[in-house]
Amino acid sequence: MIISSMLVHSVSQASNTNIWLDILQFVVAFLSFFGFVLTSAVILILAERKIMAYMQDRVGPVHTGPWGLLQTVADVGKLLMKEDIHAAQTDKTLFILAPSVFLAPVIAAFAVLPLSPYVGVPGTALATGIVYYVALSSIDVVGIVMAGWSSNNKYSLIGGLRSAAQMISYELPLVLALIGVVMLTSILANTGLGTISIRDIMTYQATSAYPGRGVGFWDFVFQGFTPWAWFFLQQPLMIIIYYICGLAETNRAPFDLPEAESELVAGYLTEYSGMRWGLFFLGEYGNMTIVSAIASFLFLGGFSGPGVAFLTGLNNIGWGLLGNLLAIGYFVTKVYLLCFVFIWVRSTLPRLRADQLMQFAWLILIPVTLFNIIVTALIYLIMNGLGSPNWLFQIVLGIVNFAMLIGFIYIVGRATVATTRRAQAPAIRAQRRANAAGQLPEKTSAGVARGGQK
C-alpha cells in the first residue's frame, strides 16, 4: 500500500497534477488510514498486553506465535467466529447499529491527518482540520449511549450515561487546549490569520532558522525539522491537558468509568459479544491512536524528522519515496510513543469517581485552559506593543507556560488535599468530640465493652 502510494507520488510529481491522480491519491490515502487504524489497533492491543505484563512482573501472551506475536490475530479470528448473541428485549436496531456508530467516526477522523507529505486526502478537505476532528470525536458518545440504552441492562445504562456526561465535559477543555495552538499559528502567520488545518499547523512548527543553513548535511537534518520550535515547548501545559482530556475521551484509565470493570462489570459493553464487541474494542484503540496522532501533529511536529523535507524536496522519484517512508516512520514512532504513555498511565493509576471526574473537568481543567488563552493573548499584546520579534514572544510564552504547568500541578495537589479534608471532616469532628468528652474507650476489654453501649 505504502509502496504503491509512493509510486503514485512519483508519477504525480513527474507529470502535471490532474484530477485522476487526485482521485488515486484519495483512494490510496483512504486505504492507508483504514489499514493504519485496524493494524495499529491490533499492534496496540498486543503492545499493551506485553508492556503491562512487563510492568506487572509477568510474561503476557507467549503461546501463540513467537513471543505471542500472533495472539491478537488469533483473538480476532475467535471473535469473528463467535455466535452473535442478543439478550432478550434489546432494542435490536440500536443494538446492531451502535458499534458502527462508534467505530465509523474514528476511522473518518483520520481524513484530516496526513501520514506523510504525500499520503493524505488531497484538496481543501484538510483545511477544516481541528474542527472536523473535534466534531467527529464527539460522535463517539452517541454510539456509546446507544449501546448502553439498547442493551436492556442496568450496568450498560449506567455506563452509557456516565460516558455521555464524561465525554461531553471533557470535550470542552480538549477544544480549549487546542485553541492555544491555533492562536500561536495566527501570531506566527504575521497576517493575523491563523489556521485550523492540521498540516498547516505542523508546518508552522518548522522554522527556516537553524544552525548551518545552506550546508548540505545540516539542511538534510534540519530542513522542516526543528524540535526547538515545536509547540509542546511553548504550550507544555496545554499538551498535558489535551492528553488528560484525550484519556477521558477514549475512556482509558484513570477515566475508564463507563466500562469500570470493578463496578459496572463491563459498562456499556456488558451485553456485547463476538465481533460487535470487537468493533467497540477496535474503536477504542483507534481512538487512542487518533488522540496520539493529533497530539503529535499539534505539539510534536507531526511527521517531520531528519531528511523528510529535504528528500521530498529533491523532486526525484527514489528520494521522494524514501522521504515519504521516513515520514511515515517518524509519524508512527511519535504516535506509538504517546500510546505508550496511555498504557503506562493505565498500569499505574486507580480510577477516579464520577463526581471527582466532573469536578476535575469543570473546576480545574476548563478554568485553566481559559486562563491559558487569556495569558497567551496578553503576552502577545504586551510583546507586540513593545515591538519585540516573534521568537522572543515564543520564548517568553514558553517560560510563562512552564510556570503555569508548575502552578497547575500545585493546584491539583491542593484541590485533592482540600476535597479529602472535606470528606474526612466528619471523622475529625467526631474524634474531637470524643476527645473533648473523654469517652475514648480504654485499651482493656472492659473499656471496649463500655464503649459499646451507645
Pair 155, 87: CB distance under 8 Å: no
Q: Does 168 bind other proteins (CB under 8 A)?
A: no
Instruction: Return the number of the residue (281 or 331) whose C-beta is nearest other proteins.
Output: 281
Q: Does 248 bind other proteins (CB under 8 A)?
A: no
CA 190 – CA 188 distance, rounded (Å):
5
Among 162, 87, 176, smallest CA distance to 130 is for 176
Stretch that binds other proteins, among 104-112, 217-225, 400-408, 422-430 (CB under 8 A): 422-430
CA 282 – CA 72 distance, rounded (Å):
11
DSSP structure string for 236-305: HHHHHHHHHHHHHHTT-TTS-GGG-HHHHTTGGGTT--HHHHHHHHHHHHHHHHHHHHHHHHHHS-TT--
Q: Does 356 bind other proteins (CB under 8 A)?
A: yes
Q: Does 352 bind other proteins (CB under 8 A)?
A: yes
Stretch that binds other proteins, among 62-70, 111-119, 319-327, 346-354 (CB under 8 A): 346-354
Scan residues 270-329 and list those touching other proteins (CB under 8 A). Answer: none
**What's the closest the beta carbon of residue 377 comes to other proteins, in angstroms?**
32
Give the residue, chosen from 262, 374, 385, 437, that forms a contact with other proteins under the rule CB under 8 A: 262
Give the DSSP letter of residue 110. G
Collapsing DSSP to helix, strand or coil, 87 comes out as coil
Give the residue, chosen from 385, 436, 438, 454, that forms a contact with other proteins under the rule CB under 8 A: 454
Kindly state the cell numbers that stand for 236: 507544555
Instruction: Return the number of the residue (253 or 326) whose C-beta is nearest other proteins.
Output: 253
Phi and psi at residue 39, to the nearest 5°: -70, -40
**How many degrees, rounded to 5, is the angle at CA 198 between CA 286 and CA 285?**
5
Q: In this structure, which amino acid lies at residue 257?
A: L
**What's the closest the beta carbon of residue 57 comes to other proteins, in angstroms?**
5
Instruction: Return the number of the residue (154 or 213) whose C-beta is nearest other proteins.
Output: 154
Stretch that binds other proteins, among 5-13, 255-263, 268-276, 399-407 (CB under 8 A): 255-263
The CA-based dihedral angle spanning residues 64, 68, 70, 75, taken in that order and rounded to the nearest 10 degrees: 70
Instruction: Return the number of the residue (53 or 325) whose C-beta is nearest other proteins.
Output: 53
**What's the closest the beta carbon of residue 404 comes to other proteins, in angstroms?**
20
Using CB under 8 A, count the residues that bind other proteins: 58
Q: In this structure, which amino acid lies at residue 375?
A: V
Q: Does 18 bind other proteins (CB under 8 A)?
A: no
Instruction: Return the number of the residue (377 or 409) whose C-beta is nearest other proteins.
Output: 409
Scan residues 21-60 and list those touching other proteins (CB under 8 A). Answer: 52, 55-58
Q: Does 63 bind other proteins (CB under 8 A)?
A: no
Q: Does 176 bind other proteins (CB under 8 A)?
A: no
Q: Does 244 bind other proteins (CB under 8 A)?
A: no
Among 389, 371, 135, smallest CA distance to 237 is for 371
Residues 6+ apart with CB under 8 A from 47: 336, 339, 340, 343
Instruction: Return the number of the residue (78 or 154) whose C-beta is nearest other proteins.
Output: 154
CA 215 – CA 178 distance, rounded (Å):
36
Scan residues 87-106 and list those touching other proteins (CB under 8 A). Answer: 89, 91
Q: Does 355 bind other proteins (CB under 8 A)?
A: yes
**What's the closest the beta carbon of residue 436 comes to other proteins, in angstroms?**
14
**What's the closest the beta carbon of residue 56 comes to other proteins, in angstroms?**
4
Q: Does 263 bind other proteins (CB under 8 A)?
A: yes
Stretch that binds other proteins, among 69-77, 292-300, 323-331, 411-419 (CB under 8 A): 411-419
Residues 6+ apart with CB under 8 A from 190: 390
CA 363 – CA 419 distance, rounded (Å):
12
**How many degrees, rounded to 5, is the angle at CA 175 between CA 191 and CA 342?**
120
Instruction: Return the number of the residue (249 or 256) whose C-beta is nearest other proteins.
Output: 256
Instruction: Return the number of the residue (49 or 226) whose C-beta is nearest other proteins.
Output: 49
The CA-based dihedral angle spanning residues 304, 308, 313, 315, taken in that order and rounded to the nearest 10 degrees: -140
Give the residue, chosen from 140, 171, 256, 284, that forms a contact with other proteins under the rule CB under 8 A: 256
Q: In this structure, which amino acid lies at residue 389?
A: P
Encoded one letter per residue, x for contact with other proteins by CB under 8 A and - for no contact, window 133-152 reads ----------------xx-x
Residues 6+ apart with CB under 8 A from 74: 64
Stretch that binds other proteins, among 317-325, 380-388, 395-403, 429-437 (CB under 8 A): 429-437
CA 126 – CA 129 distance, rounded (Å):
6
CA 211 – CA 229 distance, rounded (Å):
13
Report the interface residues with other proteins, using CB under 8 A: 52, 55-58, 89, 91, 149-150, 152, 154-155, 157-158, 162, 253-254, 256-257, 260-263, 265, 346-356, 412-413, 416, 419-420, 422-427, 430-431, 434, 440-441, 443-445, 448, 451-452, 454
